[in-house]
């Protein structure tokens, strides 16, 4: 089973745009995490500071049906956006091989990657961070597509096996 899907959470649309680009270029299915109740910026801040797992909905294919799942999420307060935290915890068993894309203004990606590995209990196979500007103005498109190419069957990354969680950067 060499299948790949993308799951994204997006508050202001940047991560969704990155995920849609990746999916449309590679022909991968997309699942989307939604907020169970409408949120404002302060709830984003508090969810991050308190590492909360807010209520979520999910529309998309079952991640357990795919060999590799690419998670796409924004950084909030130097940490993983809360709804993606909820998703990872809820689907931990189904997320066997995980690659991560974060979008942000400038900093926080390594914390999010460390947290995902910690929540999964194993390392991720690959990661990339993009600034919101790179996604908005298209300057990150080639790197995003190349990241996806590296996950395709037959590439070096597709052969990569997951590592123990302690090999990921500390959250």
Ligand X SMILES: Cc1cc2nc3c(=O)[nH]c(=O)nc-3n(C[C@H](O)[C@H](O)[C@H](O)COP(=O)(O)O)c2cc1C
Residues that bind ligand X (CB under 6 A): 10-16, 41, 44-45, 74-78, 103-108, 132
Separation CA 146–CA 166 (nearest Å): 27
Helix (H, G, I), strand (E, B) or coil at 45: helix
- Nearer to ligand X (CB atom), residue 46 or residue 145: 46
C-alpha distances in angstroms, 45 versus 49, 56, 92, 99? 6, 17, 24, 25
Q: Cβ closer to ligand X: 75 or 168?
A: 75
Tell me the closest approach of the beta carbon of residue 152 to ligand X, in angstroms.
Answer: 24
- Please tell me the distance from the alpha carbon of residue 59 to that of residue 61, in angstroms, as a whole number: 7
Q: Minimal distance in Å, beta carbon 93 to ligand X?
A: 26
Between 114 and 122, name the residue whose CB sits nearer to ligand X. Answer: 114
Pick between residue 17 and residue 118 the one whose CB is nearest to ligand X: 17
Residue partners of 168: CB distance under 8 A and separation at least 6: 113, 114, 116, 117, 118, 123, 124
Q: Let me know: does 118 contact 169? Beta carbons within 8 Å.
A: no
Q: Closest distance between ligand X and the C-beta of residue 37, in Å?
A: 16
Q: How far is the CB of 86 from ligand X (least distance, A)?
A: 15
């Amino acid at each position: 089973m060499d299948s790949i899907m993308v799951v994204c959470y997006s508050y202001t649309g940047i991560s969704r745009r990155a995920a849609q680009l990746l999916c449309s270029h590679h022909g991968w299915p997309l699942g989307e995490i939604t907020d169970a109740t409408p949120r404002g910026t302060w709830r984003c801040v508090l969810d991050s500071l308190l590492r909360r797992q807010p209520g979520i909905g999910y529309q998309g294919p079952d991640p357990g049906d795919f060999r590799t799942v690419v998670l796409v999420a924004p950084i909030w307060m130097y940490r993983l956006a809360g709804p993606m935290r909820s998703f990872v915890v809820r689907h931990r068993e189904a997320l066997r091989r995980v690659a991560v894309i974060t979008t942000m203004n400038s900093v926080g990606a390594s914390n999010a990657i460390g947290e995902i590995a910690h929540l999964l209990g194993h390392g991720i196979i690959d990661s990339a961070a993009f600034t919101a500007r790179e996604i908005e103005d298209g300057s990150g498109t080639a790197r995003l597509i190349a990241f996806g190419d590296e996950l395709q069957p037959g590439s070096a990354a597709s052969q990569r096996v997951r590592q123990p969680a302690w090999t990921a950067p500390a959250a």
